[in-house]
A and B are shown apart, each in its own frame.
Chain A
Amino acid sequence: MAVLTATGLTKRFGGLTAVKNVSFIARPGEILSIIGPNGAGKTTVFNLLTGFVRPDGGSVSLDNQDFRGMSPESRCRAGLARTFQIVQPFRGLSVLDNVVMGAMLRARSIEMAREIARQVLSDLDMSALCDVPAGQLPIGDRKRLEMAKVLATSPRALLLDEVMGGLIPIEVKRMIDFIRRLRERGIALVVIEHHMNAVMQLSDHILVLQNGEPIANGAPAEVTRDPVVLSAYLGANFALSGS
């Protein structure tokens, strides 16, 4: 079981500091949610964790392995996987082959990878879509495919970037159940989500970002009572969606 630790992550794009001194610990079997308004730097945090963007400061480690200088590939091999907010399917390939790409990491042969992929797809209720070209999926299914691909890598820590964006309510509900089951498997989960309802249902901890800076960090109940958060971000909307 793995603990994902971020310490003092900082990233500047030109004059803009997109992420400023962000630290957290994500533990196995727990869900940490990162919330914040558009452009707060949430996705950039994921890019820093996974190595797609090089930090200007700070460090990332999984268990006791320091990720400094490691490529995204190596980090995934070490057990840290992510989804993309803007989904990144292999458009020309079937849904099954998309998931096989993820499953290859832990499988010795393509046959084995295909078995794993089928299992993952069935867990996500996607078995019927196996042969559909990924480019032809509607958005809801694309989000689920994005999940399926990374799950097939059997991650120990998993970063989910707005996997509920664009889903209809019934799909959201199913996704929430599914993420809970992942937590039960002992995966360390970090979730970016705008869907406050889902955040409140899922989170063990919440980290609030604003303009790249962490402005609150704690259990959902604490965070939602925090006056700084209320005024800065949640405002009146929260009262509605939280009820």
Chain B
Amino acid sequence: MKPVRSPLTGLLLPVAGFAVLAALPLIFSDAFFVAAVTLAFLGAAASLAWNLSGGYAGQLSLGHAAFYGLGAYVSTILFLKAGISPLIGMWLGAIVSAALAVFLGAITMRLKGSFFVMSTLAFGAVVHISAINLRDLTGGPSGLAIPLRPSPENLIFAKKLIYTYVALVLVIVFYAITRMIAASKIGYALVAFRENHDAARALGIRTLPLRIGVFALSAGLISICGTVHAQYYLYVDPDSVMGLNLSLNFALMAIVGGLGTAYGPIVGALLVSVVSVVMQAYLGDQISGLTQLAYAAIVILVLLVAPTGLGPSAHAFLKRRMTWLS
């Protein structure tokens, strides 16, 4: 919450961090690693988007995969049926998602805690089931394939590495947006709501329009990630872009890394992909479920031992160490 006033942590550290991230796929240029890094970046971007509403305002949505999927479907359908470039479709998808988020928010933003969570679960399920059943539009359960016609204007690249940097750009932009909001009155008001609703009201802080607005922004941004997902895989199907597990993962990455911090989702996403790379390297695909099993165990441990997330906990630990030493 407190703005990082020293230029070192405020600007230099993030810039250095992003430079390291940018170098990652060059150092580990093996296709397997590039794929892992790309997915980590895309996950980080999506989780950053989720975190705007889920982390700062504490609106724990588990329906965000619906917006992610909408981004994937809207741009893909427009591209396949009308030849509209995904570069445009991406924005249309974002607008559709944001509009839907405003509608959903207007209904659900007065629900407390778990009731809000359940309402977003149901919303996610409704959109998911609709995508499966609107066969003419979505291709049903088997999904839609995008023909490989590489060109920047189609947002299709033969070299997978380019997607890595597209995803990294999203991460950097979303990070910057997060920092801006967090340091503004809007960000403070959201945090006030999250921390203590009555206290916020007693101080004249009006949050409903802000919460709905940030929910819509969050939905729009995550929808853009969905479009990039579609272009990366050149394939969209309901389970892989709208499943509940996807929503859960957006949230868990932010929670593991540090909920309501700008860097948390990035830390979380990287950690998740390290776990999955390590598990796959050691175990291969012999037994399905092991990677997710390890991941779930880590999440539980983090929640019990470092409930504010790894980033903030490490920070607090270091600070205690420093004051000790001095």
Residues of A within 8 A of B (CB): 50, 52, 71-74, 76-77, 81-82, 84, 88-94, 96-97, 100-102, 104-105, 109-110, 113, 131, 149-150, 152-153
Contact = CB atoms under 8 A, between A and B. Distances in A.
Contacts of A90: 191-192, 195-196, 199
21 contacts: A71-B201, A73-B204, A73-B205, A76-B203, A84-B199, A88-B198, A88-B202, A90-B191, A91-B195, A93-B1, A93-B191, A94-B2, A96-B2, A101-B192, A102-B204, A104-B203, A105-B204, A110-B183, A113-B185, A150-B202, A153-B203
Interface in B182-224: 183-185, 188-189, 191-192, 195-196, 198-206
A90 to B, nearest CB: 4
A101 B183 contact: no
A102 B205 CA distance: 8
Contact of A97 (B1, B200, B204): B1
B236 to A, nearest CB: 39
Contacts of A131: 2
Contact of B195 (A84, A93, A150): A93
Contacts of A76: 201-204
A113 B203 CA distance: 13
B204 A153 contact: yes
B51 to A, nearest CB: 16
Contacts of B2: 94, 96-97, 131
A84 B200 CA distance: 12
Interface string B29-41: 0000000000000
B203 A149 contact: yes
Given A73-B205, A84-B202, A110-B183, 11 more contacts: A71-B201, A74-B204, A77-B204, A88-B196, A88-B199, A90-B191, A90-B192, A90-B195, A102-B203, A102-B204, A104-B189
A1 B202 CA distance: 21
A226 B88 CA distance: 79
Q: How large is the interface on B (under 10, 10 to 19, 20 to 34, 35 or more residues)?
A: 20 to 34
Nearest to A107: B185
Contact of B185 (A73, A94, A104): A104
Contacts of B206: 73
Contacts of A153: 203-204
A105 B3 CA distance: 19
B204 A91 contact: no
Contacts of B184: 110
A89 B196 contact: yes
A76 B204 CA distance: 5
B199 A149 contact: yes
A131 B50 CA distance: 28
Nearest to A93: B1
A109 B199 CA distance: 20
Nearest to A108: B185
B202 A50 contact: yes
A150 B3 CA distance: 22
A101 B201 contact: no
A150 B198 CA distance: 13
A152 B192 CA distance: 15
B196 to A, nearest CB: 5
Contacts of B198: 52, 84, 88
A91 B200 CA distance: 12
A232 to B, nearest CB: 32
A149 B2 CA distance: 17
B188 A104 contact: yes
A160 to B, nearest CB: 13
Contacts of B202: 50, 52, 72, 76, 81-82, 84, 88, 150
Contact of A110 (B185, B201, B205): B185
Contacts of A50: 202
The 6 closest A-B pairs by CB, nearest first: A76-B204, A88-B199, A90-B195, A72-B201, A105-B204, A77-B204
Interface string B249-280: 00000000000000000000000000000000
